[in-house]
Amino acid sequence: MENNLSISRRSLIQHIALATIGIGLPKFNFGIEENTLSPFYLPPQPPLQPGPGGIDIRTWVKSAQTNRQFSCVETAVAARKMGPTPHIHKDLDELMLVLEGTATVIVNGKVDEIQTGGWHFRPRNMEHTFWNSSEKPLRFIDMYFNQNFEDFLEELFHQIFPEMMRKHLSPADPQIAKRLKNLDQRFGVTTFPEKRQPIIDKYGLIG
């Protein structure tokens, strides 16, 4: 009798659990509709080189391919080269994977060295930058979530910077300064230009 009662209770619990699955629990689709994404393949490419400016980027996955959930770029940095001006992202979270060399990253004053194969996560609203303090090239993949930040970088590295080099302009040029300010505003980036040179001086970097 007790054994049959135990089996009945167990059966009841199992039926309740099975009825609950997919009905009573919330469904998570991470903000995308079913069947809106398509598979894609990206063939291998030769390793990216830093280029004449000492740093360059190459987009691998565009946010348009993932319904704005994810994008990533490859970045190459020459030896002893300083990265971007210290800055904050309002809406962007970043994840770095170092492919070659060692990246030095500072977040809210804390400095870490990310060696080949290492990962580093930088949440939004934290002041940060990176540089290559070694005598060897640095390459890494930067991954972006929920913002098309690859468009920011492509405009900066493949439009604004080349024009500056062709016309021998500096960031202080009124037209360039206006474009940079507009770019920052569109992507929710706040920069701290006064903090860049002290890093260059402290670590003996190339600006």
Q: What is the pLDDT of residues 7-35, one digit of tens each?
A: 455 554 454 444 444 444 444 454 555 55
pTM of the model: 0.81
Q: Residue 98: its pLDDT value, please?
A: 98
User: In the chain, which stretches have pLDDT less than 70?
Assistant: 1-35
CA atoms within 13 A on the CB side of 27: 9
Nearest in space to 191 (alpha carbons), one of 183, 201, 112: 183
pLDDT of residue 20: 41
| Residues 66, 150: Cα–Cα separation, whole Å | 13
On whether the CB atoms of residues 109 and 141 are closer than 8 A, the answer is no
Domains and CATH numbers, the chain: 55-203 (2.60.120.10)
**What residues pair up with 119 in beta bridges, in sequence order?**
97
- In this predicted structure, what is the pLDDT of residue 26? 41
pLDDT of residue 18: 44
Q: What pLDDT shows up at residue 51?
A: 86
Residue 143 phi, psi dihedral angles, 5° rounding? -110, 135
Residue type, 202: K
Question: Are 193 and 170 in contact, with CB atoms under 8 Å apart?
Answer: no
Which candidate, 142, 153, 200, 207, places its Cα nearest to that of 180? 153
Query: How far apart are the C-alpha atoms of 165 and 161, rounded to whole Å?
Result: 6
What pLDDT sits at residue 202? 97
From residue 148, give the alpha-carbon distance in Å to each of 72, 158, 205. Answer: 9, 16, 30
Given phi > 0 = left and psi -120 to 50 = alpha, else beta, which region is 137? beta
